[in-house]
Chain A
Amino acid sequence: MAWYQVPGNEQDIVISTRVRFARNLSEYPFPSRLDAAGAKEIINKVGQVLEDNGFTKTDFSDISHTAAVSLVEKHYVSPEFVRESLPHALYLNEPCNLSVMLCEEDHIRLQCILPGLALQDAYKGACKVEQLLDERFDLAFDDKLGYLTHCPTNLGTAMRASVMLFLPATTMAGRMEALAARLNQLGLTVRGLYGEGSGSDGYLYQVSNQVTLGVTEEGTLRKLEDVVHQIIDNERKLRQSVSGRDLDLLTDRVLRAEGTLKYAHALTSAEFLKLAAEVRLGVAMGIIKDVKVEALTALLIEAMPATLTMNTEPTPKTEGERDLARAMLVREKLSGNP
Chain B
Amino acid sequence: MLCEKCNKKKATVFYNENINGKVRSFNLCADCAKAMRDAGELEDISASFSSFASPFLSLEDSFFNDFFSLPFHTTGGLNAPSAPKKCPLCGATLSDISTTGKVGCAKCYETFADELEGPIQSAHGKTGHIGRIARGHRAKKEKADRISALKKQLKEAINDEKFEEAASLRDQIHALEGNA
Q: Which residue of B lies closest to A18 (CB)?
A: B56
User: A208 an interface residue at 8 Å Cβ cutoff?
Assistant: yes
Report how many A-B pairs have Cβ atoms within 8 Å: 148
User: B79 an interface residue at 8 Å Cβ cutoff?
Assistant: no
Once the chains bind, are A152 and B54 in contact (CB under 8 Å)? no
List, in ascending order, chain B residues with CB within 8 A of A153's CB: 57, 59-60, 63, 67, 123
Q: Which residue of B lies closest to A134 (CB)?
A: B135
Q: Which residue of A lies closest to B144 (CB)?
A: A143
Binds A, one of B5-13, B22-30, B100-108, B155-163: B100-108
Interface size on A, as a range, is 35 or more
| Majority DSSP secondary structure for residues of B touching A | loop
User: B139 an interface residue at 8 Å Cβ cutoff?
Assistant: no
Once the chains bind, are A214 and B128 in contact (CB under 8 Å)? yes
User: A3 an interface residue at 8 Å Cβ cutoff?
Assistant: no
User: B119 an interface residue at 8 Å Cβ cutoff?
Assistant: yes
- How many chain-B residues does the 8 Å CB contact rule pick out? 45
Binds A, one of B34-42, B88-96, B145-153, B169-177: B88-96
CB distance from A68 to the nearest CB of B (A): 15
CB distance from B56 to the nearest CB of A (A): 5
Bound Cα distance from A155 to B124, whole angstroms: 9
A29-B105, A160-B58 are known contacts. Are A213 and B135 too (CB-CB below 8 A)?
no
List, in ascending order, chain A residues with CB within 8 A of B133's CB: 141
Q: Which residue of B lies closest to A141 (CB)?
A: B134
List, in ascending order, chain A residues with CB within 8 A of B3's CB: none
Q: Which of B's residues lie within 8 Å of A, judged by CB?
A: 46, 50-51, 53-60, 63, 67, 89-92, 100-106, 109-110, 116, 119-120, 123-125, 127-137, 140-141
Q: Which of A's residues lie within 8 Å of B, judged by CB?
A: 20, 24, 26-30, 32-33, 78-80, 105, 109, 111, 130, 134-135, 138-157, 159-160, 162, 189, 191, 193, 206, 208, 210-217
The 8 sampled A-B contact pairs (Cβ below 8 Å) are A30-B105, A139-B135, A142-B109, A148-B106, A150-B103, A151-B103, A160-B57, A214-B129
